[in-house]
Structure 1
Amino acid sequence: MENWLKFLSAGVTSQILETAFQWFVVVDRDAKIIYINDEYCNFLEVCREEAIGKHVADVIENSEMHLVMERGTAEIAAPHYIKGTYMLANRVPIVIDGEIIGAFGSVIFRDMNDWKKLSSHVRKTMDQIETNMNQYRESFYNFADIKGISQSIRKIKESITTIAPTKLPVLIEGEMGTGKEMFAQSIHGLSNRADKYFVKLNCSTIPKELLEEEIFGKWSRNQVVKKGRIQRAEGGTLFIQEINELPITLQAKLLKVLQDQKVQPFGTDEEISVDVRFILSSNVSLAEMVKNKLFREDLFYKIQSITLQIPPLRERIEDLPELIQTFLSKYSVEAGRRGIKIDRKALWNLQQYNWPGNVRELQNVLQAIIHLAEGHQITVDVLPLHIRRQKPTFSKSNGTLEEILFQVERQILHDHLEQEKDKMKIAQKLGISRSTLYEKIKKHNL
């Protein structure tokens, strides 16, 4: 607080107001927002009172304010991808008595057409961005796309903000359909490699006989190297999906790249230096594969130091309402049916389902029922038959104690609301006040 008094007395506030454009934000040394103007809040669709005190990365997607403070250097006219488009932003650390006590950020150009005309340097930057985005536009995710209130998701998001600035390899494990690619792209988006390529390679979809040259490249007869995925990711990130499918014979070669940062194309002994950050995913436990001699132990220990375990949807069912709302908003716009909502009984059925296909299955179901819904309400009768016939079950083994209690509370409230419409009577039966009952109904989206 004492430093912030110095900050205010030093006239920095007036400097911000004089140099700020329409959107600006100020954060403290912990990257928590202490001020954000109304114009910015309106664009972000957040309430200023709720934004104050939150980590800036939780409010502004792809924010690098915290990284600017770590590096201690300003970023001027830096491309910032936000809400589907690129803008130009200034990010400046605030220094008092030689100590960084916060940072100030402003959006200086909000329309690509305006800043595209500025200079050849900016035009070159934008061409690079557009080329990159065109390659991955259909599936690119960012940190803000990670939805959920469960303890497991909160911990993963905290880990991502910590590990993203590093160059260390990251292993992401989780069942199929849990969204491992989204977490990988979020790490890339928060890193200082965000303006470089994010290259993907799925070991399960490429024929085994072609994998080596696809990953490491190939030395052709005319002594020209055909670049593999590693070289294509130069300066950026290579995301190797389903690393558990990589043949043992190639695992040693990948380990050498990780250790030496040099790649040896197929057909030559020549090594080429590379600067690549590796993120790898697996839908099975690599530790078990190592025990069964199906995966190299030395490669496993090289990549497992930072491991994100993505829980299946059935183990974080409290995240379902937010996920449903997010996907409904997206798919209803795509279908030209704005304002689609889901009624309480339909939501309850979705919450009782086990979701063996995880978030991917949820997305597919919601895309379908939006088209089947009559009017603006999704009711039970449009849900797939196997979900409607799902018997309510409760597994005491799913999740932490906090998550288990959350599920129990939701089920008790649902049962009472099905049997009784008078909220006062329900509150009396449960021994709580009516206001507390309404708070719990709102918390569980019942």
Structure 2
Amino acid sequence: MEDFIAVSPNSKEILNSAKLLQSVNIHALIFGEIGVGKKTLAKYIVPEARLFSPQELQKDIIDGVLSLNKESIIIDKIEHITNVDLLLSWIEENEIRVIATTEALSLNNKLNDIFSITLSIPPLSQREDDLKLLTQKFSNEASQVLRSEKIVPSKLMLNTSKNAHSLRKSIYFSYLFETIGEDEILMFLENYMLTNLKGENSYKDFVYLFEVPLLKAAKKKYKSQVQMAKHLGLNRITLRKKLDIHKELL
């Protein structure tokens, strides 16, 4: 079982609350964005509990195939439960303890009322020490799986838009990127465009694939728009227009 990474101060507080929940028989809800470690924390609280999706659990209850009594279960993404009354009745009749995860800001009132405590896990962007540790962990993992030399941290391309999910993927990509050259990059772009080529404005639709990474790299490398324009061979008005066009991606 994976450990819940808790090095940052806010993560340590969450883990301390989770430790208390190990010895208290109450329902608990774990809230957070995708990839923050909700299921990992739930399994930490009730290591032997069976994990259910809402659809699977509802079907099993309706089919009468569950023989659980006075046990704990984990329900992942409980916001997708469609028959709340059925679930609550089954929980009460069988004295089931529920540890649930959710990405939803609000739940059905009846459902929300059963939870005595809610643990909110912040995104990795607010857990700097956790991010460093996870980066090191995924880098070691990628090095072993891909049988590659360790990459220095400054060369890792880190994407935390989906927290640990996107972080792991971006680190693996960083290792793969070390082994490819221009020919492979052009091949990837060609295949992507070939798959998605349609309509009558394809050039305009795909030009961002070249311009956005170039502009992002220039922003990182040069200190001002004056320097960016000079080294990109653009006049400043053209540069500002391109920055404005792609501002949502930059």
Q: Is TM-score (shorter-chain normalized) higher than 0.5?
A: yes
Gaps in structure 1 of 5+ consecutive residues: 1-139, 219-225, 263-273, 290-294, 375-384, 393-446
Q: Which residue of 1 aligns with 2:132?
A: 321
For residues 113-169 of structure 1, what are the alpha-carbon distances to aligned partners after superposition, in whole Å with 9 as ceiling and x for unaligned? xxxxxxxxxxxxxxxxxxxxxxxxxxx43xxx2224211111111111111122211
Q: Which residue of 2 aligns with 1:334?
A: 145
**Mapping 1:116-131, distance limit 5 Å:** none
In 1, Cα distance between equivalents of 2:102 and 2:110: 17
CA contact (8 A) 1:201 1:240 kept: yes
Equivalent of residue 39 in structure 2, options 177, 181, 185? 181
Q: Which fold has the larger relative contact order, with Cα–Cα distance below 8 Å and residues 6 or more apart in sequence?
A: 2
CA contact (8 A) 2:6 2:15 kept: no
Q: Which residue of 1 aligns with 2:58?
A: 212
Please state which structure has a larger fraction of its residues in strand. Answer: 1
- Residue 372 of structure 1 deviates from its aligned partner by 2.9
Equivalent of residue 200 in structure 1, options 51, 75, 78? 51
1:360 aligns with 2:165: yes
Greater Rg, structure 1 or structure 2? 1
Q: Which residue of 2 aligns with 1:372?
A: 177
Q: Which residue of 1 aligns with 2:88?
A: 255
CA contact (8 A) 2:84 2:110 kept: no
- Residue 211 of structure 1 deviates from its aligned partner by 6.1
In 2, Cα distance between equivalents of 1:280 and 1:387: 40
Counterpart of 2:114 in 1: which secondary structure? helix
In 2, Cα distance between equivalents of 1:159 and 1:186: 11
Q: Which residue of 2 aligns with 1:150?
A: 8
Counterpart of 1:165 in 2: which secondary structure? coil
1:299 aligns with 2:89: no
Equivalent of residue 74 in structure 2, options 239, 245, 260? 239
In 2, Cα distance between equivalents of 1:148 and 1:362: 17
- Residue 283 of structure 1 deviates from its aligned partner by 0.5
1:285 aligns with 2:105: yes
In 1, Cα distance between equivalents of 2:69 and 2:177: 46
Please state which structure has a larger fraction of its residues in helix. Answer: 2
CA contact (8 A) 2:4 2:37 kept: no
**Mapping 1:427-438, distance limit 5 Å:** none
In 1, Cα distance between equivalents of 2:169 and 2:120: 23
- Structure 1 residues 217 and 331: alpha-carbon distance in aligned structure 2, compared to 1, 3 A threshold: farther
Q: Which residue of 2 aligns with 1:109?
A: none
- Residue 359 of structure 1 deviates from its aligned partner by 1.1
Q: How many equivalent pairs are there?
A: 188
RMSD across aligned positions (CA): 2.9
Q: Partner letter of residue 172 of structure 1?
A: I
For residues 250-304 of structure 1, what are the alpha-carbon distances to aligned partners after superposition, in whole Å with 9 as ceiling and x for unaligned? 212222333x3x2xxxxxxxxxxx3533111110112xx4xxxxx1x2331211x
- Residue 387 of structure 1 deviates from its aligned partner by 8.3
Q: Partner letter of residue 363 of structure 1?
A: R
Q: Partner letter of residue 358 of structure 1?
A: N
In 2, Cα distance between equivalents of 1:158 and 1:306: 13
In 2, Cα distance between equivalents of 1:387 and 1:237: 48
Counterpart of 2:113 in 1: which secondary structure? helix
In 1, Cα distance between equivalents of 2:177 and 2:72: 40
**Mapping 1:51-70, distance limit 5 Å:** none
- Structure 1 residues 326 and 246: alpha-carbon distance in aligned structure 2, compared to 1, 3 A threshold: same
- Structure 1 residues 245 and 184: alpha-carbon distance in aligned structure 2, compared to 1, 3 A threshold: same
For residues 230-263 of structure 1, what are the alpha-carbon distances to aligned partners after superposition, in whole Å with 9 as ceiling and x for unaligned? x3x556432111111212xx212222333x3x2x
In 1, Cα distance between equivalents of 2:129 and 2:162: 17
CA contact (8 A) 1:148 1:323 kept: no
- Residue identity (%): 22
- Residue 362 of structure 1 deviates from its aligned partner by 0.4
In 2, Cα distance between equivalents of 1:178 and 1:319: 10
Q: Which residue of 2 aligns with 1:227?
A: 65
TM-score by length of 2: 0.64
In 1, Cα distance between equivalents of 2:136 and 2:70: 36
TM-score by length of 1: 0.38
